[in-house]
Chains A and B, each alone.
Chain A
């Protein structure tokens, strides 16, 4: 099987369309979800359960960024998204959380390469929707850079650079993306001047 990037983007767009957004700086923990999702730090998990990260990770680094636990309890499914509070970069943490939400929204039951790629695609679209990035580039009277995306969407440098690269091979926006653009375009800056002066 190959990653279904179209569905990953569509799922992220649908999630955004289900929100009442007043800012393009998406806080993944504040969105409304159909599923029961608990966002917490691994450190707080350890505090509540009187355990340590070293015990949970068994000495490996597989929990370094974060993880998602799926537990059925009392007939309900609970998704617990744990992130590493030691990661001080808000952009990086935001991407990690969006990535984990991607796994949940895509119904992943394992975390292989295929699911990783889909979750990354989902996160990129959730935090900086392609149609809005395209519109930002169209409005700007200069070639936009990663710093502009960082300023407008509050994403990490790496995520911004990846998004700019995506822009070069952009496909036709879907009807949902156009609807999202119509709803959120007023939140974009006019960009007559560079968003960020370097």
Chain B
């Protein structure tokens, strides 16, 4: 799946193997092997590839048509939640939790990123203490 996804997104973006391998600072054959599925990039290289193509690393492991986690389109506006044990709860409940954060996140960022955000952050620490 990874090899196909790499090849697909590269062609969609109209980028050559030479350009990608140049960015990764590896030989073209090395990158070509990733696209042929002969070898697999390590996680650091995968992260670089994700950054290069503007997608999340998870994108490479999803089927075509699946909604990627973080991509450079409308879906990128979707909030991403990382929480311990969140994978263990039912998808419907996980969706409700994400929706609850979705409804509040902009209000929160608005409050934290206004000119007096420093004061807010200080207050956050005081509240914590």
Query: A residues bordering B, Cβ < 8 Å?
Result: 4, 7, 10, 38, 40-41, 43-45, 47-49, 51, 55-58, 60-73, 78, 80, 85, 99-100, 103, 106-113, 115-116
- With A7-B43, A70-B70, A109-B56 known to touch, is A48 a contact of B86 (CB < 8 Å)? no
Q: When chains A and B are docked, how far (Å) is the Cα of A73 from the Cα of B69?
A: 16
Query: B residues bordering A, Cβ < 8 Å?
Result: 42-44, 47, 50-51, 56-58, 69-70, 76-77, 79-89, 93, 96-97, 100-101, 104-109, 111-112, 120-121, 123-124, 127-128
B86 touches A107 (CB 8 A): no
For chains A and B in complex, what number of residue pairs have CB atoms within 8 angstroms? 129
* Residues of chain A within 8 A of B70, CB atoms compared: 70, 72, 109
* Residues of chain A within 8 A of B42, CB atoms compared: 4, 7
User: Assuming A38-B121, A62-B97, A115-B82, what are 5 further A-B pairs, CB within 8 angstroms?
Assistant: A51-B104, A62-B85, A62-B89, A67-B83, A111-B87
A86 to B: closest C-beta gap in Å: 10
A90 to B: closest C-beta gap in Å: 11
Q: When chains A and B are docked, how far (Å) is the Cα of A36 from the Cα of B30?
A: 33
A69 touches B79 (CB 8 A): yes
Name the prevailing secondary structure of the A interface residues.
mixed
B127 touches A70 (CB 8 A): no
A29 to B: closest C-beta gap in Å: 8
A44 touches B87 (CB 8 A): no
- With A51-B104, A58-B97 known to touch, is A111 a contact of B84 (CB < 8 Å)? yes
- With A45-B108, A67-B81 known to touch, is A62 a contact of B88 (CB < 8 Å)? yes
B5 to A: closest C-beta gap in Å: 14
* Residues of chain B within 8 A of A49, CB atoms compared: 104, 107-108, 111
B79 touches A71 (CB 8 A): yes
B52 to A: closest C-beta gap in Å: 12
The 8 Å CB contact of B77, one of A51, A69, A72, is: A72
